[in-house]
Amino acid sequence: MIGDRYSIKFTIPGKGEVLGELVRIKGPHLTELINRNLPINSRGLIREGMFIIPTNVLYTIEKPVNLGKKGDIVYDSKAKAIIILLEEKRFDSKMANIGEIIKGLKVFESLKMSSGVRIEVNE
């Protein structure tokens, strides 16, 4: 076991940084896979109270959930996307809750449309 929590940073050019954590116990293999694939550069978009970040990470759902709370980091295997919840959500399909935003959620909430995003290890 490498660690229990992985500290990550989301950088939105021109807007700021957001700190988050991937929690290994919520999805051990998935969080390890995402952590190994960092940094991830993508273009996220706001949709229905979520900031959706498409990735190249493909993995099954471990410990699926149907409900998420504001600030959760979830993974959608069908869309191959990391999603930041900007409000409490009930999902139609199973998602993997893999972490949470620690600081700076307001940066995502201030976005009006799509934006570039970089996810990297926070050292």
Q: Which CATH number does the domain housing residue 78 bear? A: 2.40.100.20
First-to-last alpha carbon distance for the chain, in angstroms, is: 19
Burial of 29 (0-12, 13-18, 19+ CB in 10 A): exposed
pLDDT at position 27, please? 86
In the chain, % of residues over pLDDT 90: 72
Amino acid 3: pLDDT? 58
Residue 1 has pLDDT above 60, yes or no: no
Could you read off the pLDDT of 57-88 as tens digits, one per residue?
888 888 889 999 999 999 999 999 999 999 99
pLDDT tens-place string over residues 82-116: 999 999 999 988 899 999 999 999 999 999 888 99
Which of 73, 71, 70 lies closest to 99 in space, CA to CA? Answer: 73
Query: Given a cut of 60, is residue 10 above it in pLDDT?
Result: yes
Number of separate domains in the chain: 1
Mean pLDDT over residues 1-20, rounded?
88
In terms of C-beta density within 10 A (0-12 exposed, 13-18 middle, 19 or more buried), how is residue 48 classed? Answer: exposed
Q: Whole domain around residue 57: which residue ranges? A: 5-121
Q: pTM value? A: 0.92
Average pLDDT, the chain: 91
